Amino acid sequence: MKILLIEDHPELARSIVAYLTQEHYLCEVAATFDEAREKLILFTYDCVLLDIMLPDGNGINLLKLLRKDGVESSVIIISAQNALDFKLTGLSEGADDYITKPFPLPELHARIKAVMRRRSPHKSNVLTFLDLTADLESMECRVNGKLLSLTRKETNLLLYFINNKGRMLTRQAIAAHLWGDYTDNLDSVDFVYQHVKNLRKKITDAGGKDYISTVYGLGYKLNAAG
């Protein structure tokens, strides 16, 4: 999986690259409009992460150029502008998704995965983690083949865990993922606790191991150790 990150802030770019490399992506960086254009002409990328404000141009124009040249890559806009701006200005035209800065890295990862899946429907639509499986088509989750009766939010939560297995997920990141714009994450950490608790209970009730561990009351992690 090749990703091109177009971001002029070097430190943020470095962090994103470090994270995505850990997740086994090949990640290249372009810091300017021109550099990005050049790279997009020369190489093919599965996914482009595009910052809108570039020192020598606007990411939206780059997106238009991309689409005009028939570049097929998925595009996720990374921007400091919020959802409302996108809705009000129709910025996200031609992009597959957008994510507002600052965002949790696991969230970015989850978005990339979702976008890539939409792009390649022939790929396997089942996520697995040890004896947990999640079918992305039917949205069914199983433990050792046994169907779990999860709510939509719980399913979403489990997918998020599997996508970011082995990583510590803060409650805030989980809240942002589950409720997005609907609520400011500051007071939804209790809700996250509730959801995680219910999910763990459902998995263990179905005979699964409790793979989700609490990290010092700060967040959660899905790992084999349990």
Partner 1 sequence: MKLNHRYTLAYAVITLFVLSVGFAIVYGAMSRSVTQTTIGKLRHLNEVVAAQLRSGRDYAGHPARANVRIRPLAPSDTVAHAQLVQVRPEWDPELQSAVNVVRLSTYPRIGGQRYHLTSRAVVVMPSDEYLTGIVLVFAWTFVFLLALVVILSEVISWYILKPFNAILLSIERFQLSQKTTIGLQPSRTKEFNVLNDFLMKMTSRAQSDYQGLKEFSENASHELQTPIASMKAKIELLMDSELSEKQLLMLTTMHDELERLAKINQSLTLLAKLEHFEWEPAPLTDLSRLVPATEAAFADLAEMKGLRTTQQIAPGVRVPLDESLAQLLLNNLFSNAIRHNLPGGEIRVLLSATELLVENTGHAPSVPVAELFGRFKKGNAALDSIGIGLAIVKRISELYSHRVGYTYADGWHRIRVVFAAAGE
Q: Which residues sit at the interface with partner 1, rule CB under 8 A?
A: 9, 11-12, 15-16, 18-19, 22, 53, 80-85, 87-88, 100-106, 151, 153, 167-168, 170, 172-173, 179, 181-188, 190-191, 194-195, 215-216, 218-219
* Contact criterion met (CB below 8 Å) for 223 and 175: no
Cβ closest to partner 1, residue 69 vs residue 184: 184
- Dist. CA 49–CA 166, nearest whole Å: 24
Q: Helix 59-68 vs helix 33-42: angle between axes, to the nearest 10 degrees?
A: 20
**82, 94, 135, 5: CA torsion to nearest 10:** -70
3-state secondary structure 131-158: CEEEECCCCEEEECCEEECCCHHHHHHH
Cβ closest to partner 1, residue 61 vs residue 183: 183
- Dist. CA 87–CA 84, nearest whole Å: 5
Q: What is the rounded radius of gyration, in angstroms, for the C-alpha atoms of the chain?
A: 18
Smallest distance from partner 1 to CB 186, Å: 5
Smallest distance from partner 1 to CB 172, Å: 5
Cβ closest to partner 1, residue 138 vs residue 182: 182
Smallest distance from partner 1 to CB 137, Å: 23
Smallest distance from partner 1 to CB 204, Å: 20
- Dist. CA 183–CA 67, nearest whole Å: 34
Distances (CA, A) of 8 to 34, 52, 56, 66, 112: 12, 10, 10, 19, 20
Smallest distance from partner 1 to CB 117, Å: 23
The helix/strand/coil state of 31 is coil
Cβ closest to partner 1, residue 82 vs residue 125: 82
Cβ closest to partner 1, residue 41 vs residue 88: 88
Smallest distance from partner 1 to CB 216, Å: 5
Residue 206, phi then psi, degrees to nearest 5:
-85, 10
- Dist. CA 202–CA 149, nearest whole Å: 8
